[in-house]
Amino acid sequence: MINCNKMPPQTADDFFTERILVMWIADRWKDYEVLDTSGGEKLERWGDYILVRPDPQVIWNTPRSHKGWKHKNGHYHRSSRGGGEWEFFDLPDEWSISYSLSACPKENLSGPSSEKGTGEELTFRLKPFSFKHTGLFPEQAVNWDWFSLLLRREAESTGKSPKVLNLFAYTGGATLAAASAGACVTHVDASKGMVGWARENAQASGLGDAPIRWLVDDCVKFVEREIRRGNRYDAIIMDPPSYGRGPKGEIWKIEDSIWPFLELTASILSEKPLFFLLNSYTTGLQPAVLSYMLQTVLAKRFGGRVEAAEIGLPVRASGLVLPCGASGRWSQ
């Protein structure tokens, strides 16, 4: 794990070893797993159904020996012209899977995890839609476990509900994890459909009456208004897209936009914040970049600890780990 409070590596070889060998692995799923990977695609089990989806990280061509390749329920075919389309084989329009949050207060949920869940089970409704998606990024479970423990500990020690802001919140995986840990959550996404889907997930998870504020809004505009209102949050979760457009045609390109937005968002943290989580699925924003930004913007102001690492999912067939992006974490 990259720990910015440690002494820096003494040689280039030391740095290379530390950076490459450390990963946060979402290895506690029961309803989801990567069965195999080969030829630009991954074979996944989502509950009772098997899907084949493209993955740009899979640049190897290994034998497709797992029987699931021949017995899939859905296959997303990427087009050479961009985009692609689904081909279905006995797959329902919608189905659900569940995840049980970790109950073990490990210092860092970064290595193999054998502990049982809390019984606080999150349920997600799935449906294949455009651009190969299903409505969930299962690798993020490793982050849900991490921050839910921080929130639960804070709520139990203070008797108060921490205020959490989830930006670019998609279908609400992080929102539900935070709410189930005792937080009051503000969920913001520019897509009305995604916010509606997140609310359905909340109902399915028994969190329909939880203190969650659901907002369809541009994240940058929302933060600017929160600054003017004087609102503050104890924790912020940010999962920005690589590219997007604002309500007036503003272009969001993560390499250009993330730094000023991080600075802007840090200004709505409370005086004694709990954590800040920043995710990236862009190859240019490696863990060291996320660490540098969080160290510069947050650690210099609040102290605390900055860590960053790749996140990944175990692959059953090979026993290896499929990289799925990176996360940077700041916490007290």
Residues 8-29, mean pLDDT to the nearest whole number: 62
* Residue corresponding to tokens 């104890």: 234
* 299 φ/ψ sector (left φ>0, alpha ψ -120 to 50, else beta): alpha
* CA separation, residue 119 to residues 102, 122, 224, 266 (Å): 9, 9, 38, 33
Examine the pLDDT at 19 and tell me if it is beyond 70: no
User: Can you tell me the distance from the alpha carbon of 128 to that of 133, in angstroms, rounded to the nearest whole number?
Assistant: 6
- Confidence band for 247, pLDDT divided at 50, 70 and 90: low
* Residue corresponding to tokens 């175990």: 314
Phi and psi dihedrals of 66, rounded to 5? Answer: -65, 135
Token output for 293: 């930004």
**How many residues in total does the chain contain?**
332
* Rounded to 5°, angle at Cα 201 from 282 and 106: 65
| Cβ(261)–Cβ(293) below 8 Å | no
Examine the pLDDT at 323 and tell me if it is beyond 90: yes
Residues 78-83, mean pLDDT to the nearest whole number: 83
Average pLDDT of the chain to the nearest whole number = 89
Token output for 112: 């193999």
Residues 43-67, mean pLDDT to the nearest whole number: 97
- Confidence band for 211, pLDDT divided at 50, 70 and 90: very high
Predicted confidence (pLDDT) per residue in 126-169, tens digit: 999 988 999 999 999 999 999 999 999 999 999 999 999 999 99
Report the pLDDT value the prediction gives residue 255, as an integer from 0 to 100: 86
Residue with the larger pLDDT of the pair 4 and 65: 65
Sign of CA dihedral 190, 75, 310, 114: positive
| Cβ(281)–Cβ(322) below 8 Å | no
Residues 250-275, mean pLDDT to the nearest whole number: 92
- Domain 135-331: CATH architecture, name and number where available: 3-Layer(aba) Sandwich (3.40)
User: Can you tell me the distance from the alpha carbon of 51 to that of 33, in angstroms, rounded to the nearest whole number?
Assistant: 11
* Residue corresponding to tokens 């961009």: 82
User: Can you tell me the distance from the alpha carbon of 17 to that of 9, in angstroms, rounded to the nearest whole number?
Assistant: 9
Residues 59-67, mean pLDDT to the nearest whole number: 97
User: Can you tell me the distance from the alpha carbon of 215 to that of 227, in angstroms, rounded to the nearest whole number?
Assistant: 17
In the chain, DSSP assigns E strands to: 2-3, 23-25, 32-38, 41-46, 49-54, 74-78, 84-88, 95-102, 117-126, 163-167, 184-189, 212-216, 235-238, 243-245, 251-253, 275-280, 305-314, 321-331
Q: Say which amino acid occupies 274.
A: L
Residues 93-113, mean pLDDT to the nearest whole number: 73
User: Could you tell me which of 30, 22, 27, 28 has the C-alpha nearest to residue 1?
Assistant: 22
User: Can you tell me the distance from the alpha carbon of 281 to that of 297, in angstroms, rounded to the nearest whole number?
Assistant: 21
- What DSSP string runs through 29-66? -SSEEEEEEETTEEEEEETTEEEEEE-TT--------S
Examine the pLDDT at 312 and tell me if it is beyond 50: yes
- What DSSP string runs through 192-244? HHHHHHHHHHHHHTT-TTSSEEEEES-HHHHHHHHHHHT--BSEEEE---SEE
